[in-house]
Amino acid sequence: MGDIWRMNSHMEDVIKSYKTLTKIPSITDGRLNNNATRVTSRWAIRNLDKGKQTHYLVDYLLDDNLGIVSQSPFGVDISHEILTAVSPKETFKAVIREAKDDKDGSKKKFFLEVWSSAGLKHSIDLNALDIHGDVYADAEFGSLDWSSDETNVVYVAEKKVKKSEPFIKRKSVDDIITPASRKPEPGQEHLYRDDWGEQLAGKIETVVVVCKLPEETFTVLDFVPGGPGQVRFLPDGETLVGVTWETKTLGRLGLIYCTNRPSFVFCITFTGTFKILSGENKAVRSPRVAPNGDLFWLQREAHGPHHACHQLVRLAADDVKILLDSEDEEIDDKLVSVVVDIVEKELEISNGVFYGIYCGSLPSKCFSEDSKKLVFSTQQQNEIRSYVVDTETRKLVDITNNRKALGSTSVLCVQSDVILASFSSLTTPPQLFASKLSSMVRDGGIEWVRVSAPAEVPSSVANAKVEYMTLKSDAQAPVSSFTAIYFGPDEGKVYPLVVWPHGGPHSAFSNSYSLEAAFFNLIGFACLLINYRGSTGTGDASVFYLPSRIGSADVEDCKFATQKALDQYPIDDKRLLLYGGSHGGFLVCHLSGVYPDLYSVTVARNPVTDLASMSNTSDIADWCAVEAGWPFSEEGPLNEDKLLTLRRVSPIVHAQNVLIPTALMLGSKDKRVPYYQGLEYARRLKANGVKVIVYMYEDNHSLSSVPVEMDNLLNAADWLITHIKP
């Protein structure tokens, strides 16, 4: 299929390529049972007929050497399970299930189920209780955890809002005699309430909910300030820890993809005790409790770039207990010790180089049996790599599964000193591996045993060339190096090149399986995945280099990477294709305007085109200020010089120079980069005689729902191929 782009009629084969790749599943989660003899893995696959992902379960039984004894004969559909948790002694499994309301299909219903080996023990209609709103299952707030005695479960939900009604409304006799505490509050039905922004629309105020299962009674712990989430029990079974984010009445900033939001780790008891465990001016996430009761979490300074390097810190179990017994509400910062510190550039470890922690969360279970080792995964330049850190000596060891092939290793679970992880690369779909901590050799490394085989991919993908490029754009700059990944057909011909910078800008591409990248390969394109300066995984100095330099340093890095790829690989220099979304869209729009004769065609997905106008309507107004070079503030008078600076670093200032055909893929529900950014840019191009097309989808910033992904990816391929045909 490698020459599809050369065909006179190409769409039939393009569609066939996409359908082939949608049959390849991805791993979403995995856990080990208490004695590490059973793997329960969760997978997702695109279901084109249903127009959504189908989630399913596959179990594997392991012997003492981690070899497979047996596995499930078939996958089990679990698409309606949004949260699950197995109790500590494995007596029960709790499930929160989402379903459509039979009376109103636009509304959701939630059920809490508890299963044992004998069958269904509890099934509770949470909507019927009318004590809270929707249950949260997202990565920011979502929680479901058991107490150590297996009698309580905790989860997070939307706070119940008191009903409202118009000031003037005819009432029934029953309404007149309703107690005052239950009467609707007049005139409040149109009150504006900020939510948590992109992909968290409608999520406004969270509460912690505890269910005592023997009596099926519920307690709403609504005294935690801010927006609590990520809650779990401490070993005593009566104390909860979690994260809560600061909230504002107006002007709340978006949360997803933003690890910089002011927040703190807290603990609470059923009796109403509330304590703060982390320091001031911090952004925290992912609290994890070791078997000995010690508490670990990730933290960085609040504000600044939306993602950056994190510390891994610890608070000893004894110190938590002392605080709970004291009258102090906040803990002494000195009691929180740093296990892994922020890395400015790089750190030599026993078996390699370490660039710091950038992961969004730690594995749900990440500790050795003796609590002395913690296992985690994080972006490191062009890969996701995995590490074991000794929590006492702070020694780090790289345990990435890359002895046989380059790729990315993500730890899913640690139980009974066995590690379960997924491995994939641009040429190899995800597969499960297991290893024993005891197999870790002194100078680093670990023995991995494959649990599941990867799905079969077309030979052009499996045999493609993947190479890491280490690049230096400006030797005089305080940060001069960056990386890119070349992914192209392993043949001698010259190929069109997709120049593809990532979004963020503080994120990174990794050598892990990607349907998009495989799709471009299958239709005959090579890809250049650019981790320009400002990307994560290369030290915190790289992240902080880009603010005040966007629209220049990142653009120059992409141009420099393009030229180096032309020098090193079999690329057709007359067929250089620009493709990117969000900040990647910002960059490809810049490149097409600054270098109008170098590139051939552009596809931009929800691109940032004008920071000046975006700063007033995006859910991340702070992003515009920070990336342009100053701290975010909405206080005081408007600063016209700053507005002018925002405009000057934007792609729209180069719109009059654009010559190449440009397609824009926009989401009408995008709260991060509102769709008018793309429309404004399209109007400018059209007025200047540029061939332009706009696709508008009823989706959010990611454009990732199955029908939308299908349409925008196929239309992107059609647009690119049409404008480079011989």
Query: Catalytic one among 143, 582, 618, 702?
Result: 582
201, with CB counted inside 10 A (0-12, 13-18, 19+), is middle
DSSP-derived 3-state class of residue 666: strand
pLDDT of residue 443: 65
Task: Match 């552009």 to its residue by tokens.
Answer: 602
Give the C-alpha distances (Å, rounded to integers) separating 310 from 284, 338, 626: 9, 11, 18
Does residue 440 surpass a pLDDT of 90? no
Q: Nearest Cα to 723, choosing from 592, 571, 588, 576? A: 576
Angle between helices 583-594 and 553-568 (to 10 degrees): 70
Angle at Cα 474 formed by Cα 470 and Cα 479, nearest 5°?
A: 75
Task: Match 């911090």 to its residue by tokens.
Answer: 282
Q: Which two tokens stand for residue 58?
A: 């596959």
Give the C-alpha distances (Å, rounded to integers) separating 265 from 154, 287, 678: 17, 7, 39
CATH number of 459-722: 3.40.50.1820
C-alpha R_g of the chain: 26
* Rounded-to-integer distance, Cα 420 and Cα 406, Å: 19
User: Active site includes 582?
Assistant: yes
Query: Catalytic one among 263, 670, 699, 702?
Result: 670
* Rounded-to-integer distance, Cα 608 and Cα 584, Å: 8
Average pLDDT (202-208) is 96
Please state, for a pLDDT cut of 70, what percent of the chain lies above it.
97
Does residue 108 surpass a pLDDT of 60? yes
pLDDT of residue 175: 66
pLDDT of residue 334: 83
Average pLDDT (300-328) is 94
Spatial neighbors of 125 by CB under 8 A, at least 6 apart, are: 109, 111
Query: Catalytic one among 452, 618, 701, 702?
Result: 701
Task: Match 């029908």 to its residue by tokens.
Answer: 707
Does residue 177 surpass a pLDDT of 90? no
- What is the DSSP pairing of strand 132-135 with strand 152-159? antiparallel
- Per-residue pLDDT of 277-302, as tens digits, reads 999 999 999 999 999 999 999 999 99
339: phi then psi, degrees, rounded to nearest 5: -95, -45
> Most confidently modeled of 160-164, 317-321, 701-705?
701-705
- Per-residue pLDDT of 598-640, as tens digits, reads 999 999 999 999 999 999 999 999 999 999 999 999 888 889 9
Could you tell me the pLDDT band of residue 180, with boundaries at 50, 70 and 90? low
- Per-residue pLDDT of 528-559, as tens digits, reads 999 999 999 999 999 999 999 999 999 999 99
Does residue 21 surpass a pLDDT of 60? yes
269: phi then psi, degrees, rounded to nearest 5: -120, 165
Chain Cα centroid distance, residue 259: 11
Contact status, residue 720 vs residue 577, Cβ threshold 8 Å: yes
The sign of the CA dihedral 369, 373, 379, 382 is: negative
* Rounded-to-integer distance, Cα 253 and Cα 196, Å: 7
Average pLDDT (554-579) is 97
Tell me which DSSP letter residue 162 carries: P
Average pLDDT (647-651) is 98
Give the C-alpha distances (Å, rounded to integers) separating 61 from 172, 452, 617: 62, 11, 52
Q: Which two tokens stand for residue 187?
A: 């005139």
Q: Which two tokens stand for residue 491?
A: 């043949």
Average pLDDT (696-704) is 97
Does residue 255 surpass a pLDDT of 80? yes
Could you tell me the pLDDT band of residue 183, with boundaries at 50, 70 and 90? confident
322 vs 723, residue with greater confidence? 723
DSSP-derived 3-state class of residue 250: coil
* Rounded-to-integer distance, Cα 398 and Cα 407, Å: 14
Does residue 135 surpass a pLDDT of 80? yes
Quickly list DSSP for 197-239: -TT-TT---EEEEEEETTTTEEEEETTS-SEEEEEEE-TTSSE
Chain Cα centroid distance, residue 536: 13
User: Active site includes 654?
Assistant: no
Does residue 647 surpass a pLDDT of 70? yes
The sign of the CA dihedral 585, 590, 592, 598 is: negative
Which residues partner with 377 through β-bridges? 386
Does residue 649 surpass a pLDDT of 90? yes
Of 4-13, 90-99, 141-150, 390-399, the one with minimum mean pLDDT is: 4-13
Tell me which DSSP letter residue 641 carries: H
Single-letter amino acid, residue 92? F
Sheet-wide strand order for 418-425 = 408-415, 418-425, 428-436, 448-450
Q: In the predicted model, what is the mean pLDDT of the chain?
A: 94
* Rounded-to-integer distance, Cα 315 and Cα 390, Å: 15
Does residue 1 surpass a pLDDT of 60? no
Q: Which two tokens stand for residue 190?
A: 């149109």
Spatial neighbors of 147 by CB under 8 A, at least 6 apart, are: 153, 154, 233, 237, 238
Contact status, residue 266 vs residue 289, Cβ threshold 8 Å: no
Contact status, residue 342 vs residue 295, Cβ threshold 8 Å: no
Average pLDDT (117-132) is 96
Does residue 441 surpass a pLDDT of 80? no
48, with CB counted inside 10 A (0-12, 13-18, 19+), is middle
Q: Nearest Cα to 265, choosing from 215, 299, 303, 301? A: 299
pLDDT of residue 101: 80
* Rounded-to-integer distance, Cα 142 and Cα 156, Å: 6
Average pLDDT (306-311) is 98
| Helix (H), strand (E), coil (C) string for 80-148 | CEEEEEECCCCCCEEEEEEEECCCCCCCEEEEEEEEECCEEEEEEEHHHHCCEEEECCCCCCCCEEECC
Q: Which two tokens stand for residue 415?
A: 């139980």
Contact status, residue 448 vs residue 435, Cβ threshold 8 Å: yes
Single-letter amino acid, residue 706? V
The sign of the CA dihedral 716, 718, 719, 721 is: positive
503, with CB counted inside 10 A (0-12, 13-18, 19+), is buried
pLDDT of residue 184: 82
Average pLDDT (348-376) is 96
User: Active site includes 55?
Assistant: no
DSSP-derived 3-state class of residue 527: strand
pLDDT of residue 7: 67
What is the domain partition of the chain in residue ranges? Answer: 459-722
